[in-house]
Structure 1
């Protein structure tokens, strides 16, 4: 079977619709149907059940699709490697970053890249790790940088740890918890409403236990947002408490607009940032250069 037909099989498995899969591979629906039928005839196996609502892989189809997906992936990698070898240039790249990297080192890193390589085009997607992982698997980005504590185990992924970023809780100047200035309890802090990115499962478990809640699901976060700049703006405008890495609020703290709270009953917290790539997928030279400039672990 030729590679194009394997590509059609994988597209139908992913899209679960002849219409959507045909659009993805730039074929008419009848042409895609004939391609799938030819694949099934050649293999002597029924790969898909054609339901009324969506197309679903049969058990035999799941077996074949897993191997077809690897073939298609390897073909794309080979094509990319050949292009890189032929051009021997840095090339453009696209990658993703989580909320905390976006609020700490991303701006400086991108400014450095633009100064040194003004002819290169970069695309950065800022989001949570769940969406970035989806983009990585779809080959829309080459890698992403995010807190990896909740990343599911996957032998196809490679994670390189970066520098840990300690964090804490911050409030605006004149906040009631600063009068008198003394350590506060986690309960006092939480009563004002907490602003945060999506909390990792481990952090939710620790905080909910310290607050005496029956489960992590009972923990209420006043505002969850993937944009740390939005969270800072809200914290500066009201009495809510901001949870963030120290590096993300260094400017506001230095100017006296935000103040760190000393919390009596909370262990020290820090992020667990990592670079996530797909094993076997050769990064572009520009992607390798950017990854090499990220803050190393330790």
Structure 2
């Protein structure tokens, strides 16, 4: 393997009238420089200089290698600069997956902090349910996920860092019959279609336990859709009740499109968000920084 120090010493001698002048220019003793050039020639198995008294004159091969050596050092410098940028978050790419709730709540908060501070880091975001994103995480296409952690809890090849939970609430159009009922009861909710962005095993278990406590059949969602805009538009033009994290649905209440109400039970359901990554995978400084922002940001 070629030692870049030998290349630098070779180029120094090639660009100065004498070996002593080259040694002075690179702050090296003349004997040490002569020995380094000799070792380089020995390593290559070819003569790069003709010795003419106190001068070294490039051979034909030596002349050909000057441009090559300069290019090699230039590329080495670019490589070092690229590594320095990568370590300092001056470059890089991060690919993440988020579920619909995170996409509309935590993700914008994190990106508006990260991107202005690191404008040359490319971020790629894929949205979907956890079960659809996990194969891409395990296959290395995504660096990490920020999503409901229920479906990942049983896997021993994943690391999960919990994020702050929040209540699941319901939202309905202004003028909805339930908006006149204060507070609405669970039996009232059963009279209308319900739709949401997720239906995890934990949600299904909670709904089943609530139904058993009430002596009723579990109320299954009439629609599961990972696009909240579709759910909201459906709620605006019908009596459908949309359920989801409070931070997500509160945005639509602020816009005057829906009214947010607590789920009409005392043991309401909470979200279970988490940052999910493959065990043992080393991530770039940019990915690590982005993860820390997710872990420390709150909606």
Aligned counterparts of 2:82 and 2:220: Cα–Cα separation in 1: 54
Q: Return closer, same or farther for 1:187/1:120 CA change in 2, 3 Å cut-off.
A: same
Larger radius of gyration: 2
- C-alpha contact 2:109 2:297 (8 A) present in aligned 1: no
* Structure 1 unmatched runs, 5+: 1-82
CA RMSD across the alignment: 2.9
What is the count of residue pairs matched by the alignment?
Answer: 215
Q: Return closer, same or farther for 1:158/1:247 CA change in 2, 3 Å cut-off.
A: same
Map of 1:97 onto structure 2: 98
- C-alpha contact 1:161 1:297 (8 A) present in aligned 2: no
- C-alpha contact 2:211 2:218 (8 A) present in aligned 1: no
* Structure 2 unmatched runs, 5+: 1-78
The 5 A counterparts of 1:6-85 are none
The 5 A counterparts of 1:166-177 are 166-177=167-178
Aligned counterparts of 1:85 and 1:117: Cα–Cα separation in 2: 16
Aligned counterparts of 2:229 and 2:101: Cα–Cα separation in 1: 10
Is residue 141 of structure 2 the alignment partner of residue 140 of structure 1?
yes
Map of 1:71 onto structure 2: none
Offset of 1:255 from its aligned partner?
A: 4.1
Is residue 275 of structure 2 the alignment partner of residue 279 of structure 1?
no
Q: Return closer, same or farther for 1:245/1:264 CA change in 2, 3 Å cut-off.
A: closer
Is residue 257 of structure 2 the alignment partner of residue 261 of structure 1?
no
Offset of 1:113 from its aligned partner?
A: 2.7
Question: TM-score if structure 2 supplies the norm length?
Answer: 0.64
1:93 aligned counterpart, secondary structure: strand
Map of 1:126 onto structure 2: 127
Map of 1:70 onto structure 2: none
Is residue 236 of structure 2 the alignment partner of residue 229 of structure 1?
no
- C-alpha contact 1:204 1:219 (8 A) present in aligned 2: no
- C-alpha contact 1:149 1:200 (8 A) present in aligned 2: yes
The 5 A counterparts of 1:209-228 are 209-212=209-212, 219-228=219-228
Aligned counterparts of 1:130 and 1:85: Cα–Cα separation in 2: 39
Aligned counterparts of 2:267 and 2:291: Cα–Cα separation in 1: 31
| More off after superposition, 123-132 vs 235-244 | 235-244
Aligned counterparts of 1:191 and 1:93: Cα–Cα separation in 2: 45
